Chain A
Amino acid sequence: MSAGQPPLDSPETRRLTPVLGPGHTFGSVTDKISSIVLTRPTSFGWYMGFLIAFGLTGLLTIAIAWLFTKGTGIWGINIPIGWGFAIVNFVWWIGIGHAGTLISAILFLLNQKWRTSINRFAEAMTLFAVACAGIFPLIHTGRPWMAFYMFPYPSTMGVWPQFRSPLIWDVFAVSTYGTVSLIFWFVGLIPDLATLRDHAVKKPAQIIYGMLSMGWRGSARHWHRYQSAYLLLAGLATPLVLSVHTVVSFDFAIAIVPGWHTTIFPPYFVAGAIYSGFAMVLTIAIPLRKAYGLEDFITMRHLDNMAKVMLATGLIVAYGYFFEMFLSLYSGNKFDVFLVEQRLHGPYAPFYYALILCNILLPQTLWSHTLRHNVAFLFFMSIVVNVGMWLERFVIVVISLTRDFVPSAWGRYWPTFWDWATFIGTIGMFVTLLFLFVRVLPAISIAEMRELVAETSEDKK
């Protein structure tokens, strides 16, 4: 190599090595990942997990069918609190999706090598989370069959959507986000699908992967264009991550409700999205590497880095909580001050304290190097943060609505069975899709892992 090559024990080399277990070649990486899809027998655990998740998806179907039959009144929402679980879960799922794009796009632009072995399933997680999120804006409307009115098309009524409503921006944000994520994910998959096509033994698999890989031959010209396209998509997806959750935060920040009308929402929602998203990536990565023996690819370094990102974004979120409260008190506005009182002493105060515990206090343990390297603990923390971020959305949506300007319009919101069934059903759908994904597509990018092998071995020469 040229004179610019770093020496053997350079920090660059040391930085790269732990991203991949020692002794891997192009062949071993390819075999390891493609065997999950092609040769390994489908395990009993996979069938059991899939069946349970699919059963919960059935619950979702029943919940939605009953909702369409009876109307949104089967939920716990009422007149002061028109937004309940549907919006809480929507924001939660959209937030979860954001880490996938962060890993695949932003870390790519920042040239972070450790993204390589987690980006594929993180992107899949994004897609499935967006699919779950996308259900809620549709079904939380009273007349979901009219939802197409939210798209700007030349209607027979001569009317168009109101482009000043953040709920219309949501339609554009989420549909664009879903589409770009899908394309980004698929473009990344093309070389890997070609690998699967070439490794498949059975004719149907060859044909299916062959069609999906669209004749990829891996020539220099292919790779040149592929990399330009990938870079461009990463550049496009990055502003999307920031804007999509900003738009979601506008749903609240645009309103005049105390506790919603806050200018800190856009960045603080985005930070929260990445926070919960990384928690979900950890929740998926830890069982995945265990079940399929991927410890060489998803190393402790990955888990450590993800925990660090969680800690960093968790601190931004903590800053958000602090300043939200500080500015409410500093404003001197009696409704804002009252909101603080409501959070601390109102009927939903336990939710707020649980939120502080899950999102601020417990994650501080991630400062410890030892705890960050304890896989079981990390898994526990990732669940804690997922719960905490769900509570955050519950606190924002529900507490602000239950007690606002007019005391005669104070109310309570408690979810019904159908609220829970819909929420748990979307979790089932998410897991179902993940199980299918792990079974039929490479969960780790083979082509990029090979690049990683090349880079690490070149450094060692």
Chain B
Amino acid sequence: MAQIFHRSTNFIARFSVFSFIFIMGFAVLAVLEAARSPYMTRQNITREQPVQFSHKHHVGDDGIDCRYCHTTVEISAVAGIPPTKTCMNCHSVLFSNAGYLDPVRESYRTDTSIKWVKVHRLADFVYFNHSIHVNKGVGCTTCHGPIDQMPLVFQASTLLMQWCVDCHRNPAPNLRPMDKVFAMDWQPGADQEELGQQFMKEREIRTAAELTSCSTCHR
């Protein structure tokens, strides 16, 4: 009787057994990696806005303080997007004929809001509070990246829960002096480790267990 399997199937058999482990391993790694990829988190992708508003120009070139527009960031859970009136404080006279400001003037004239596209979108079951972070000395750029260099805003952080929890377990490396919270150019110095611990005590920042209990965010 003829042999059922040709000699060449020896190789196929060995290769399939050997490669199975690698294929499965890579498949698992690929799934885990894909979940963290910018494709899933939408990190580093600029979004088209109704008005081509440039933070780079207003913050980087003109030196406007963050709180001029995002007025409620120190007192409210929501940092707030400035209303059309804030734009018109200057643009009623500045570049008052510029074409790319048409939507702003249109909004002002017709009393309808500009439909800004939200870049940092958290799920509704996460109750993020801006004021507590700002008041405990977490700076804007720690989470939002170098806003002063962004012509159009993109999401600099992953916004994955893992990312939130990492800092809540160990906030010290990200704490700044209170007068540097809105500074765009702050970088941690060599003494950050020491300073961070000092800030933790001074500002009575709670323990990791308290900061990472479910009700901190998922209320």
Chain A residues within 8 Å of B, Cβ to Cβ: 153-159, 197, 203, 206-207, 210, 214-215
Is the Cβ of A157 less than 8 Å from the Cβ of B162?
yes
Is the Cβ of A157 less than 8 Å from the Cβ of B161?
yes
Residue interface mask B146-189, A partner, CB < 8 A = 1: 00000000000010111001100000000000000000000000
Is the Cβ of B160 less than 8 Å from the Cβ of A156?
yes
**Chain B at the A interface: SS class:** helix
Taken together as a complex, chains A and B put the C-alpha atoms of A215 and B14 apart, in Å, by 12
| 15 pairs, A vs B, C-beta closer than 8 Å | A153-B32, A154-B32, A155-B35, A156-B35, A156-B158, A156-B160, A156-B161, A156-B162, A157-B160, A158-B161, A158-B165, A158-B166, A159-B165, A203-B4, A210-B5
Taken together as a complex, chains A and B put the C-alpha atoms of A286 and B35 apart, in Å, by 52
Closest B residue to A200 by CB, please name it. B4
Chain A to chain B: the 4 pairs with minimum beta-carbon distance, closest first: A158-B162, A157-B161, A158-B165, A156-B160
Q: Does B36 contact A (CB under 8 A)?
A: yes
Is the Cβ of B4 less than 8 Å from the Cβ of A207?
yes
Taken together as a complex, chains A and B put the C-alpha atoms of A294 and B23 apart, in Å, by 44
Nearest Cβ on chain B to A182's Cβ, whole angstroms:
16
Is the Cβ of B4 less than 8 Å from the Cβ of A197?
yes
Which of A153, A155, A156 is most buried by chain B, counting CB atoms within 10 A of its CB? A156
- Residues on A with beta carbons closer than 8 Å to the beta carbon of B162: 155-158
Which of A153, A157, A158 is most buried by chain B, counting CB atoms within 10 A of its CB? A158
Is the Cβ of A159 less than 8 Å from the Cβ of B161?
yes
Nearest Cβ on chain B to A175's Cβ, whole angstroms:
16
Nearest Cβ on chain B to A359's Cβ, whole angstroms:
43
Nearest Cβ on chain A to B112's Cβ, whole angstroms:
38
Taken together as a complex, chains A and B put the C-alpha atoms of A294 and B36 apart, in Å, by 58
Which of B4, B5, B36, B162 is most buried by chain A, counting CB atoms within 10 A of its CB? B4
Closest B residue to A156 by CB, please name it. B160
Taken together as a complex, chains A and B put the C-alpha atoms of A154 and B161 apart, in Å, by 12
- Residues on A with beta carbons closer than 8 Å to the beta carbon of B160: 156-157
- Residues on A with beta carbons closer than 8 Å to the beta carbon of B165: 157-159
Nearest Cβ on chain A to B59's Cβ, whole angstroms:
31
Extra pairs beyond A155-B162, A207-B4 (9, CB < 8 Å): A156-B36, A156-B161, A156-B162, A157-B161, A158-B161, A158-B162, A158-B166, A159-B165, A210-B5
Nearest Cβ on chain A to B34's Cβ, whole angstroms:
10
Taken together as a complex, chains A and B put the C-alpha atoms of A435 and B168 apart, in Å, by 56
Nearest Cβ on chain A to B123's Cβ, whole angstroms:
11
- Residues on B with beta carbons closer than 8 Å to the beta carbon of A158: 161-162, 165-166
Nearest Cβ on chain A to B212's Cβ, whole angstroms:
9
Nearest Cβ on chain A to B91's Cβ, whole angstroms:
41
- Residues on B with beta carbons closer than 8 Å to the beta carbon of A159: 161, 165
- Residues on B with beta carbons closer than 8 Å to the beta carbon of A206: 4
Nearest Cβ on chain A to B158's Cβ, whole angstroms:
8
- Residues on B with beta carbons closer than 8 Å to the beta carbon of A203: 4
Nearest Cβ on chain B to A196's Cβ, whole angstroms:
12
- Residues on A with beta carbons closer than 8 Å to the beta carbon of B32: 153-154
Nearest Cβ on chain B to A288's Cβ, whole angstroms:
30
Nearest Cβ on chain A to B2's Cβ, whole angstroms:
10
Taken together as a complex, chains A and B put the C-alpha atoms of A140 and B24 apart, in Å, by 29
- Residues on B with beta carbons closer than 8 Å to the beta carbon of A197: 4
- Residues on A with beta carbons closer than 8 Å to the beta carbon of B166: 158
Taken together as a complex, chains A and B put the C-alpha atoms of A155 and B33 apart, in Å, by 10
Closest A residue to B36 by CB, please name it. A156
- Residues on A with beta carbons closer than 8 Å to the beta carbon of B35: 155-156
